[in-house]
Every structure is written in structure tokens, then in C-alpha cells.
Structure 1
Amino acid sequence: MAINKVVRAALKAISYREFDIKKNYLQYRNLVNLANKSLKPLYNTWDCAVDSGRHAIPVRIFSPEGEGDFPVLLFFHGGGWVAGNIDSYSKVCANMAKMTNHKVVSVDYRLAPENPFPAGLEDCYQVAKLFITNKEINNGKVTLIGDSAGGNLAACLSLLAKERNEFKIDSQILIYPATCNDHSETSTFQSVHDYGTDYLLTSKRINDYMDLYISKKEDLESPYFAPLLAKDLSEQPDTLIITAEYCPLRDEGEEYGKMLREAGNYVSIYRVKDALHGYFALPLRFPQVRLSYEIINSFLSRQRGETIEK
């Protein structure tokens, strides 16, 4: 069912009153954490930290029910590189472990502006390196997964891993990822113009996030900030990209998938109808969330070599 007039009017009103992130990012961060606060599960969950050599990177591990060596989903949360943490995404990750029968490793990477680009990316890289290369820690398959800014981090990590050649990433799942560096009126993507004002996540909010994330203007031209700028997209992981119909990031995420495919990679691209940016964090009763897990599980089955219907 498409968004009706009443809901559209409500979305417009909420978007119009958006919080000034650049001036009040600490307050916004606290609001996000408070709104998504949940009690840590008492079972199948444990906290640990990865030593980067300079600081500890907190991670929270969510294990599905039952016994066995489960494959790993290495998860990077959204929040514009500025907000969110492993606490605010605990419900999402617990659901993810349950719905996919995978062990979910949620990374509490450093946030901007206190730790600007590429600090968060480097944290994600170090955790990926540990879980992929240290067989005593994990001897199973690892798939990167992230939503929004976390999808950006997953895509950029895959590019960085190819360049550094320290480990190989086999698969990645990018949920409405940020892949471009321009969300202004000059954007070439129609979804920025169609859905960049009245659909919760606005173009102004995205630009504010980017301004807080970068340390200098030159960062905007880095493919590790905006993966659409990468000159060579060959030898990238098998990729699943899920976008939302009413999301300003929709077209750039889908374009990144098309470019990966043109470079010779396996790519599946799905657009979830009647969905807004951020829908993946909603409870499992929402049909868009249930559909997304069907899509994700189909992709993961393919990665395990199981026969799936195309």
C-alpha cells in the first residue's frame, strides 16, 4: 500500500522540524540512544573488544538459538557516522541473529565529529581482519552487513580490503547505503530530488552528517568516503543491495550495484516498496522487514552453495 495523504502530511511536518545535527549532535546522539534503549539480552549475547593496537573497539556478539558453529554477519550500524551504537541496535541485531540463523557481530566503531573520517572505517576494518583471519576466533564464513552509514562502511571496507590485500571479503549486504558525495540540488540522482525533503531523512540532514564526518574537504573525493567514486570495482565481494522506495539514497545505492555488476561482480538489487529510510530497524511484524529477511536469507543461501530459485 502506498503512503496515503495523511501519513505523507505527517512525514512532511516531522521532516520540516528536523533537529539541527551540526549544532546539537551530542543532544541528537543522546536522543537516538534513548529512543532505542533496550535491556541487553541475558542469553546468547556477550560483549568483548578488539585491540586495534591503539585503542579497544567494543563489539557485541549475538548468537542464534541452538548449538553449532554459525557463520558470521559482521554488522555496522547506521546513524550518519555520528549517532547510534551497539546498545541502540541491540534489538535489530538480536532479530537478525534469530531470522538468519547467523552469529551477528555488532561493531561499536568510533563516531564523528570527535573521530572523523576515516576513524570509523579503520575500526570496522580491524574487526573484520580479526574475524576473517584469526581461525581461533572464527573459523566460519563472514558476511559484511550494514544499513545507511553502516552500508557505506561495509562497501568502503571491501574496497579498502582489496587495496591492502590482507584478507578477502566474500560477500556483503548493503541496506540503503550512502555511496555518493553530493546530495544537493545538483545531484544527478532523482531520488534525492523526489524524497530529499519530506520523508524523514532529508538531503540537508545527509549533508550535515557528511560535514560532521569529514576532516577536510578533500575527503569528499575519496572512494573510501563515497564508493561510487572508485575507479576500479573489480574483484569485489558478492553483493546484495536493498533500497527503500521513499529514500533519498535509493538511486545512488542501486547505481553502485549496477556499477559493481558491470565490473564483473555478482550483485542482487532489491527495492522494497512502500518503505522509508530506516525501516529495517522496525519490529519484525512490519511486512517490509519480513520481506527484507526473506531476501537476505535467499542471498545467504546462495553464499552457502545451496540451490535457490532465481
Structure 2
Amino acid sequence: MTLDPKAKAFLEQIEQAGGEPLPNLPLAVARKGAREGFIATAGESAWIKKVEEQRIPVEGGDILLRIMTPIAEGPFPVMVYYHGGGWVLGDLDAFDGQLRYMAAACKCIVVGVDYRLAPEHKFPTAVEDAYAALRWVAEYIHLYQGDVNRIIVAGDSAGGNLSAVMTQLVRERGGPTIAKQILFYPTTDLRLLSHSMKELASGYFLSESDMEWFRDCYLRSPKDILNAWASPLLALDFQDLPPALIITAEYDPLRDEGKAYADVLKQAGVPVQYTCYKGMLHTFVTRLGLFDQAKEAIQEMNVFIHQG
């Protein structure tokens, strides 16, 4: 394995900056740092036709959706996007540049979902918020020139986890229909026992201790680790799930559980396209200003969305 030079420089910059490990930081400080880091590395914003916002009701409150329409002729495929951040960090402003770029590059409507975060809102709140957003899109996205027959769930890291869970949940609840799923370095097994989790436990941006902290913030109790809504790799049935594009990074502790999820889908007869980006770190797709590979991954997403 050879770490990409830009990834190596990114890690060196973080090390030189010093600072406390993520689990030691006050929550507000961790969130502010994550937001600033994503915005600083997002690159130039892409031109799109319009951005609209919609608040939708969920149990105990409401959540924000940000709807991004490309400069093109509809009807459009619709990507419901769940951002990463360990279910604890991140918001639509932090990921705004990435979502605009995806809308423009993939000629699709992107609906960013501002699901409620842990630890204030424990599992399964994020799951139910994600499902509420999906149902709203299925009912109303035609008003924005979206094609209800081409709804795709997508997300990175914890958002990849939520996307995978959605494909299983809609089967249990009888809809809405998901045409495809796109998972960037998804969290699929909160037991955190994979080879890559141990091999890359520290020193590669995301650490094993970070994942333990995210898990402890998110879950109600250790029993939730084995719940398929938290660990979709532990589901009993993977048949009849939508075709999947799964992208991982070579130097990511989550690499092997992403690959394992691709493997179980394939074994169940689900069409799967899997790519591990050599030399890359966790979160590389959201850092368009740093890594050319981020744009390559989004081009791979574009092809996948429009094929077949």
C-alpha cells in the first residue's frame, strides 16, 4: 500500500496543527471544527440552476431538506443524500459544496437531508428522519421535475450507513421504491472488528477510537450494535435490494466493512459495482478541493446513475 502524496500532506498538516483527539473535545468544538474542515476543502462551488429548502415534519419536530436542481432539462433522477459525520457531526452547510458539485456533475436533483444528530437524538432517530425524507421525496419531488421512478439513496460514512438501511427498511415497510444505492465508505458493522479497523486503527484521519466515540454517542445501548438498522451488514436477508455502487478508500478503517457489504449483496444476487480508491483516506469524496480522486468517484457515480 502506498499513501497518496496529497493524502500524506493532509495527514501531516493535521499532525502539525496538534489538538485533542476527537473524543476528548467538547461537542460544540468538534462540530465547529468538522464544519470548518469540510468547507475549507470542498473546492469551488459548481453552478446549478436553483437551490430550494423545505422543512418536513418528523416525530417530535421537523427537519430541513435542501433541494438542488442542475442546469439541464428534466425530469431528473433524484439523489436523496445523507451526509457523513458519525451521526454526530456535519450539517447541510458543511456539505453544501459537495452536493452542488454532485447535482451539476450528475445532472440530477440532489436532496440533502439534515437529519437530527446524536447524542441529543439517539438511534433510531436518524433512521426515522432518513425514512421521512425519502417518503417526502417520493410524494412531492415531481413538483421539482424529479422522476419518482429514479430515486437513488446515497451517502458517505454514516450517511452511507443510513442509505444502506433505507434499502432494507423500504422492503420491510412496503415502499417507497428505491432505484439504486450509492455508498461512499459506509459504516456497515458497528462491532468494529474488521481487519482494516485494526490495521488502520490510528494515524489515518479516522481512528478506531473515533468510531467507538461515534458509536457510543449514537446508540442507546450496546444491544443496538447488533440491530440491522445500525449495522446493516448483520441483516438476515439481502435479496431484492437495489443495484449498488460502493466506493471505499484504501487507507480507511471502514474499508473492509464496505467491501464485506458489497460481497453480501453480490452473494444475494444484487448487481454491485465496487471500487476501492488506492492511496485514499476516509472522507476523500467530500474534499473536492484536495483530491482529484474525489471528482473521479463522482464521475463514477454519474455513470452509475444514468446507466441501465
- Tell me the TM-score normalised to structure 1 length: 0.88
1:100 CA displacement:
0.5
Could you tell me which amino acid in structure 2 is paired with residue 260 of structure 1? L
Q: What does the per-residue CA deviation read over 1:38-94, in whole Å, with 9 as the maximum and x for residues that have no partner? A: 899896111111223542220111111133221111100000000101111100101
2:197 aligns with 192
User: d(CA) in 2 for partners of 1:135 and 1:80?
Assistant: 28
Q: What does the per-residue CA deviation read over 1:181-224, in whole Å, with 9 as the maximum and x for residues that have no partner? A: 122xxx2x221122221100000001100000001221111000
User: d(CA) in 1 for partners of 2:252 and 2:178?
Assistant: 28
Is 1:274 the counterpart of 2:276 in the alignment? Answer: no
2:184 aligns with 175
2:81 aligns with 75
Q: What is the aligned-residue identity percentage?
A: 31
1:291 aligns with 296
> Do the aligned partners of 1:15 and 1:197 also contact (CA within 8 Å) in 2?
no
Q: What does the per-residue CA deviation read over 1:119-176, in whole Å, with 9 as the maximum and x for residues that have no partner? A: 0110110111121244654443110110000000000111111111132212100000
Secondary structure at 1:21 match in 2: helix
User: d(CA) in 2 for partners of 1:76 and 1:47?
Assistant: 15
2:175 aligns with 166
Q: Relative to 1, partners in 2 of residues 1:284 and 1:6: Cα closer, same or farther, differing over 3 Å?
A: closer
Higher relative contact order (CA 8 A, sep 6+): 2
> Do the aligned partners of 1:15 and 1:201 also contact (CA within 8 Å) in 2?
no
Mark the runs of 5 or more structure 1 residues left unpaired by the alignment. Answer: 306-310
1:284 CA displacement:
5.6
Mark the runs of 5 or more structure 2 residues left unpaired by the alignment. Answer: none
Could you tell me which amino acid in structure 2 is paired with residue 299 of structure 1? F
2:128 aligns with 122
Q: What does the per-residue CA deviation read over 1:271-298, in whole Å, with 9 as the maximum and x for residues that have no partner? A: 1111100011112673211210221122
1:22 CA displacement:
6.2
Secondary structure at 2:23 match in 1: coil
1:258 aligns with 263
> Do the aligned partners of 2:76 and 2:147 also contact (CA within 8 Å) in 1?
no
RMSD across aligned C-alpha pairs, in angstroms? 2.6
2:166 aligns with 157
Of 82, 89, 92, the residue aligned with 2:95 is 89
Could you tell me which amino acid in structure 1 is paired with residue 31 of structure 2? R
Q: Relative to 1, partners in 2 of residues 1:65 and 1:285: Cα closer, same or farther, differing over 3 Å?
A: farther
1:57 aligns with 63
Number of aligned residues = 299
